[in-house]
């Protein structure tokens, strides 16, 4: 049994889109934020340079899952192509071994900007995987 000081496993996660749990994702990437800064030299201070925060950037969120009969992400991206951009919050939830939510990252006002299909190769038996990349307006952690 895991203790509260043990780190959580990276495979125990679920994804919610628009508040509804959608399952079957094998990989999530883009849980990242990066604050850029500018160096500022203060007159008369020669032993260090101030680091002033400027802007925080967030990469795209990418969700990967095996292709099945569900076409919801394909259709959402098709709607974007057709000029109908519907933004939704996407939550990535990390769970402990008891299935309790421990970390929840919310990607605000996301919409799909890229859909990638599987590499098809008759000489292997790998699962066909789709990847969908989402632009969003920032990531926050919700308790």
pLDDT per residue, tens digit, the chain (143 aa), is 445 677 888 888 999 999 888 877 999 999 999 999 998 888 888 888 889 999 999 999 999 999 888 889 999 999 999 999 999 999 999 998 888 899 999 999 999 999 999 989 889 888 899 999 999 999 999 87
Token representation of residue 41 = 């030299």
| Within a domain: 58 | no
3-state helix, strand, coil in the chain (%, to 5): 5, 50, 45
Whether 37 maps to a domain, the answer reads no
Q: Residue 2: count other Cβ atoms within 10 Å of its Cβ.
A: 11
CA angle at residue 115 from 113 to 116, to 5 degrees?
140
Look-up: residue for tokens 């799909």? Answer: 112
Asked, for residue 7, whether it belongs to a domain, the answer is: no
Tell me if 4 is assigned to some domain: no
Enter the tokens of residue 85: 């951009």
Assess if residue 105 is contained within a domain: yes
CA–CA separation, 81 and 32 (whole Å): 26
| Structural domain boundaries, residue 119 | 13-31+63-141
Apex 85 CA angle, 15 and 141, nearest 5: 35
> The tokens of 105 are what?
């990252």
Would residue 89 count as lying in a domain? yes
Mean pLDDT over the full length of the chain: 90
Domain count, the chain: 1
């Amino acid at each position: 049994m895991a203790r509260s000081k043990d780190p959580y496993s990276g495979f125990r996660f679920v994804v919610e889109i628009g508040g509804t749990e959608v399952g079957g994702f094998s990989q999530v990437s883009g849980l990242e934020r990066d604050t850029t800064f500018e160096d500022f030299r203060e007159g008369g201070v020669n032993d260090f340079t101030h680091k002033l925060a400027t802007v925080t950037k967030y990469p795209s969120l990418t969700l990967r899952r095996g292709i099945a009969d569900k076409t919801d992400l394909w259709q959402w991206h098709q709607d974007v192509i057709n000029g109908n951009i519907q933004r939704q919050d996407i939550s990535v939830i990390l769970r402990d071994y008891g299935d309790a939510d421990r970390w929840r990252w919310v990607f605000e006002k996301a919409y799909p900007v890229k859909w990638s299909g599987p590499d098809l190769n008759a000489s292997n038996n790998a699962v066909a995987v789709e990847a969908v990349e989402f632009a969003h307006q920032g990531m926050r952690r919700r308790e």
